[in-house]
Amino acid sequence: MQRFIKKYSIFLMLYIVFQPVLDAVTGLMTQTHMSVTFGVLIRMAVMAVTVFYLLIFLILNRDNRRGFMMIGYFVILALVSVISLFINYKTKSLFVTSLEITTLAKSLYYPIMLLGYLYAFEELAEDRIINRFFPKVIFIAVNIISIIMLIAHFTNTSFSSYSYYKLGESGWFFAANELSAIVSITFPIMVWYALKKINRWTRLYYWISIILAIYSALLIGTKGSLLALLFSLCLAILASIVQFFRNRDRRKYFAGIFILLAITLGGIIKAYPAMAVARTSELHTEMIKDKKQKAKTKKGITKDQKKYVQTNKTVSYLFSGRTVYFENAAHNFSKSTLPQKVFGMGYATNFKKVQDAKLVEMDYVDIFFQFGVIGTIVYLAPLLYCLIYLIGTFFRKFGSMWSSKWIMLVASVCLGFGMALLTGHVIEAPSVSVYFVSILAYAMLNARIFLRTNEDPYTIDVED
């Protein structure tokens, strides 16, 4: 059994590398209108095996108090989920079993995989196997995404990110928002890996991967990916400045890193006017003017379009109409029964037609409406624990947080939590959450060692 634990821990690490392939195959299959995709089946199978892996881990570590807490958590989560399904089955005027079960299965992916990676990283850290795989697997995965994006772009076979604008590209990946979230969350890890490898200027070629990742992110045309690039590079520049003054013997190196990062940031700012994300901003303004004009004519606009037009311009642009979906979902929630308020309304709240089922696409909001007050507390408990733990570590060890490793981990975790609100498709999207929870688990491992030993775990880092 111990052999299985070790091998599956390594598998979970390598599993990250195959994510872009699964997503590309899923995108191509979705284009052929297949209802069940290859990627979904693989991910559900991995989730099922991970449950078995966690049970075996607990059996071998029966004295582990955290293990019993984990069992208790999953029992409560399962109970809440079953109660929610039963209530909605009895309450909803239209209960689509396939939609409800599929949505719940996708939702359970994050807590199961987060616990899986937490245990896997602890297992692999003992003999430093983790150093050979993380963050290298993230670096390789994003390079695969960049290659697919570039091939699709230059062969003119990309899917449009915004079909109504015919702008932006998502390569052979079906969901532009999910792709944007993946690139955003992983970009700081890419920067960390590249900076650690460029300890000699003969290795400057590692930065080519960063340029390709930036180009791919800008091709998508979403504002989230652009903001993530700017945020990550600004933090990296700040960290290089701090390191410049702290390490007198390596000032030339950190000065060079600062120049490299500054040139890269300047390049993004210079390229912005020619990118799809700039055009979508212009088209958003034009669309608002057009709808306001139509509102004054006999043509008129729909109730939802009227709400969208009346929303603050900046807010409507940042959230891309999600505020309207939020108002509609909140209205349904206010009219729901007490059991639904407590245990949730399931998929897309109450809807009378399948085509009317709309998610808000802001993860925390969708989770609240799906699981209710009690369900949300239970469902988000692991994330809240990790967030509080990492915030505490950050402020207790603030002086040590300015290495490329720590500052990029901070950036990645912040982007994960932030993108869950801004663009959604992070916590409840298996294709994105696997990146998020693996990075979160890695940050937790480092934080725990740091607080336990009172020494920065330098041994858990990118190997030269």
Query: In the structure encoding, which two tokens stand for residue 387, read together?
Result: 């967030």
CA gap 153, 158 in Å, rounded: 6
For residue 351, the one-letter residue type is F
Q: Which of 184-188, 323-327, 429-433 is predicted least confidently? A: 323-327
- E-strand spans in 265-401? none
**336 and 424 in one domain?**
no
Q: Could you tell me if residue 46 is inside a domain?
A: yes
Residue 108: per-residue pLDDT: 94
47-56, 89-98, 160-169, 366-375: the lowest-pLDDT one: 160-169
- With a CB cutoff of 8 Å and minimum separation 6, the contacts of 177 are 222, 224, 361, 423, 424, 425
- Residue 130: per-residue pLDDT: 83
Residue 305 has pLDDT above 60, yes or no: no
CA distance 253 to 258: 9
| pTM value > 0.85 | yes
48 and 146 assigned to the same domain: yes
Cβ proximity of 113 and 47 under 8 Å: yes
Determine contact, residues 409/193, Cβ cutoff 8 Å. Answer: no
76 and 65 housed in the same domain = yes
Same domain, 350 and 264: no
CA 333 from centre of chain: 26
Q: Confidence class of residue 28 from pLDDT cuts 50, 70 and 90?
A: confident
283 and 416 belong to one structural domain: no
Measure Cα distances from 105 to 41, 251, 406 in Å. 11, 51, 33
For the chain, helix (H) and strand (E) counts, in that order, are 19, 2
CB atoms within 10 A of CB 33: 6
| pLDDT given for residue 230 in this prediction | 96
- Tell me what the mean pLDDT of segment 86-97 comes to: 90
Q: Domain total for the chain?
A: 2
E-assigned strand segments in 199-300 = none
Query: Does residue 127 sit within a domain?
Result: yes
Task: Note the pLDDT tens digit of each residue in 130-155.
Answer: 877 888 999 999 999 999 999 998 99
Going by C-beta distance under 8 Å and a sequence separation of 6 or more, which residues neighbour residue 297?
none
- pLDDT at residue 325 in the model: 77
pLDDT in tens, 155-188: 988 888 766 555 778 888 888 889 999 999 999 9
The predicted structure's pLDDT at residue 342: 95
Q: With contact defined as beta carbons under 8 Å apart, do 35 and 98 qualify?
A: no
Q: Tell me the per-residue pLDDT of 256-273, one tens digit each, with 9 for 90 and over.
A: 999 999 999 999 999 888
Residue 463 lies in a domain: no
State mean pLDDT over 103-107: 92
pLDDT at residue 298 above 70? Answer: no
Same domain, 305 and 170: no
Do 212 and 265 reside in the same domain of the chain?
yes
| Eight-class DSSP state of 299 | S
- Residue 415's contacts (CB-CB under 8 Å, 6 or more residues apart) are 184, 185, 187, 188, 228, 231, 232
* Mean pLDDT, rounded, for 284-293: 54
**From CA 212, how far away is CA 127, in angstroms rounded?**
33
Which pLDDT belongs to residue 351?
Answer: 82
Residues whose CB is less than 8 angstroms from the CB of residue 425 and which lie 6 or more positions away in sequence, other chains included: 175, 177, 178, 181, 361, 363, 432
Residues 6+ positions from 172 with CB-CB distance below 8 Å: 24, 27, 28, 148, 152, 157, 158, 159
Last residue of a domain, one of 334, 360, 386: 360
Range of the domain at 351: 278-360
Same domain, 140 and 192: yes
| SS3 of residue 348 by DSSP | coil
In angstroms, the CA 37 to CA 228 distance is 29
Task: Answer with the residue of higher pLDDT: 4 or 309.
Answer: 4
Distance CA 209, CA 142 (A): 9
Which of 341, 336, 347, 342 has its CA nearest to residue 104? 347
Residue 393 lies in a domain: yes
Whether 369 is covered by a domain: the verdict is no
Domain co-membership, 290 together with 161: no
